[in-house]
Structure 1
Amino acid sequence: MGVWTVLQERQAMLLDPAIRDWVLLPIMLVMVLVGVVRHQVTVLLNGPPRKADLKSARETKGLQRGGILRAFGSHLPRHAFEARKAYITEAFEKGTYLKDPKAGNKPKGNVMQDPAYVETMMDGMKKNMMNIVPQTVIMGWINFFFSGFVLIKLPFPLTIRFKSMLQRGIETQDMDVSWVSSLSWYFLNLFGLQSVFTLILGSGHAADAMRDMQAMSTMGMGPAAGPQMSPTGQPQDMHKIFLSEKENIELTEHEWGLDNVETRLLVKYGKKPRSILLDQKRAKALSAASSSSASSSSSSQAPIAAAAASASGSGKKKGRKQA
């Protein structure tokens, strides 16, 4: 205890109250005001919402339909699942849900000549500018005026791994990890002011810097506003995506959700041992294996039977000629 008390006394620092009034609170206030201004400017730049493209929405919903069938096909009887499976795989093969079903997998022309693609790119660039410019200006302002300031001490201990995150701009090795520098205070406000923005601007506000950073990778505005974009910013080949989803659906095996529901219910409430379910699964697997082997043997014996039938028919014809 004595050594720990000495270490705490060595780490103790007294901060000037003016730092709180002229550095800590101004940084937080400026970031809140910048977020509000970003929200208003983004609303003005976006203008009225665009109407949803019916063909783009049809592509997206068709792809979602295949995923829903794979995920929740166990809630359907086998005949209903097989009917939907056959219909969706045929539609994906023919390109029924594509914007231009006749084009199929033909090579596309220059994407820059597509007005929807150009408009989506411009919207993404506007979002990036509204995110990059304010944050660059604030970081430059903090580095120029408040570089090397220690602003606050966190009321809980942290490990040494947090030192590089909380003490950016202060090159010291002996300072306690709980002390926060001015630049780190900026990053803490960048990640922690989202609830304040929601309280001031409401849900769905445009002051969320983290959401804009995630949108920078896609440069898109949603599935109904334009073409589907890949992480590189190029339009995706929906025909290849549909073919890939078709293969996934074909490999999906149906398992009826109400199969042995009485036994599973009794096992759940402890009326029967759990080993009964394992025995039923093994019996089902053996029956499936035997049926598959029987079908393969019947298919292999079919050519032999056909050859024997043809040979017997030719023998009868020869016998008739000799008679």
Structure 2
Amino acid sequence: MASVLKEQDLYLDPSIRDWVLIPITVIMLLVGVLRHYVTQLLNSAPKPKPAAAVREQRLLSRSHAIRGIAPLSPLYPAQFKSFTASTSAAMASGDYLQNKGGEAETPNPLDPKNMDSMMDGMKKQAVMMVPNMLIMQYINVFFSGYILIKLPFPLTLGAKSLFARDIAMPDLSVRWVSALSWYFLNLFGLNGVFKLILGDENAATDTRDQSGLAMLGGAGGPMGPGQPDMVKVFKSEIENLSLADGLYRWVGDGVEDRVLERWGKK
């Protein structure tokens, strides 16, 4: 009985490696590269941000810069206090807000201004889904039930449904990988290769696609549910600037003593 339950070795034809295993990997890699460049061709030209949105972001960046240099600031104390006071007053006045009322406008999906963003999302989904459906159908038709490779490490029985999806053999070891499972492993496992070839901001995977509500807002568009309320952000930043006053230290404090100590004259 023990000899029957003992794992048996399978001897695979080298042609399976040359004509099934390697071609599937190469096809998935080439399709991902092609998908990246097709997506770039289909993307619409980015729209410039409105002047109000740019002023809003610039004021916030200025506040971050002031807080960043507070612990060891090259600015004189009077200059630092003047910058913090003017920046806090500008954020409190609300003149730099993109939406003067303070409430975010809900984007209308039927607005013609948002149709370009919606079409870009649909194009990306189509470029992602159509090749994957064709490749999966191709593998199901020509290589259904093929065993391609044996993994060099042990696995639990719970992974059998992942690595042997189209093989109806309950006694087969979990370490054997079928053709369809090899396709799914390449689909999710080549992301690192795509980042190495195409860079981090590549379109070979669908992890970069945003939700429909985020796409409706667009660059510089009305604030949607996924974007922060800038009124609250400005209030929080005013409080952070007031705390930065307590952390302020001028870089020239005690410079005479430091120079004398460095040269051994004190």
Q: TM-score, normalised by structure 2?
A: 0.67
> Does structure 1 retain, via aligned residues, the 8 Å contact 2:106–2:223?
no
State the match for 1:91 in structure 2. 90
The reply on whether 1:74 has 2:71 as its aligned counterpart is yes
Percent sequence identity over matched residues?
Answer: 40
State the match for 2:180 in structure 1. 183
Q: Deviations over 1:171-216 (max 9, x none)?
A: 555443332222221122223334554676x44675521xx33314
Q: Secondary structure at the match of 1:213?
A: coil
> Does structure 2 retain, via aligned residues, the 8 Å contact 1:85–1:249?
no
Q: Secondary structure at the match of 1:214?
A: coil
State the match for 1:50 in structure 2. 46
- Which one has the bigger helix percentage? 1
- Partner letter of residue 26 of structure 1? P
Q: Secondary structure at the match of 1:135?
A: helix
> Does structure 2 retain, via aligned residues, the 8 Å contact 1:52–1:224?
no
For 2:7 and 2:163, the matched residues in 1 are separated by: 20
For 1:70 and 1:218, the matched residues in 2 are separated by: 35
The reply on whether 1:127 has 2:121 as its aligned counterpart is no
State the match for 1:136 in structure 2. 133
- Partner letter of residue 248 of structure 1? S
Alignment match of 1:208 (pick from 204, 210, 226): 204
> Does structure 2 retain, via aligned residues, the 8 Å contact 1:38–1:206?
no
Q: Which runs of 5+ in 2 are unaligned?
A: 255-266
For 2:183 and 2:91, the matched residues in 1 are separated by: 50
State the match for 1:289 in structure 2. none
> Does structure 1 retain, via aligned residues, the 8 Å contact 2:104–2:223?
no
For 2:61 and 2:153, the matched residues in 1 are separated by: 46
Size of the aligned set, in residue pairs, is: 245
Q: Deviations over 1:33-63 (max 9, x none)?
A: 322332332233226x435325344444444
Deviation at 1:8, TM superposition (A): 11
State the match for 2:261 in structure 1. none
Deviation at 1:130, TM superposition (A): 1.4
For 2:187 and 2:160, the matched residues in 1 are separated by: 18
Q: Secondary structure at the match of 1:21?
A: helix
- Partner letter of residue 97 of structure 1? Y
Q: Which runs of 5+ in 1 are unaligned?
A: 263-323
State the match for 1:20 in structure 2. 17
- Partner letter of residue 236 of structure 2? N
Q: Structure 1's 162 and 74: CA in aligned 2 closer, same or farther, altered over 3 A?
A: farther
Alignment of 1:113-262 (within 5 A): 116-160=113-157, 162-170=159-167, 174-194=171-191, 196-197=193-194, 202-203=198-199, 206-209=202-205, 212-217=206-211, 225-227=219-221, 236=227, 241-252=229-240, 253-254=243-244, 255-256=246-247
Q: Secondary structure at the match of 1:152?
A: strand
> Does structure 2 retain, via aligned residues, the 8 Å contact 1:121–1:220?
no
Q: Structure 1's 191 and 108: CA in aligned 2 closer, same or farther, altered over 3 A?
A: closer
Return the structure number with greater relative CO, CA threshold 8 A, min gap 6.
2
For 1:106 and 1:92, the matched residues in 2 are separated by: 16
For 1:114 and 1:63, the matched residues in 2 are separated by: 29
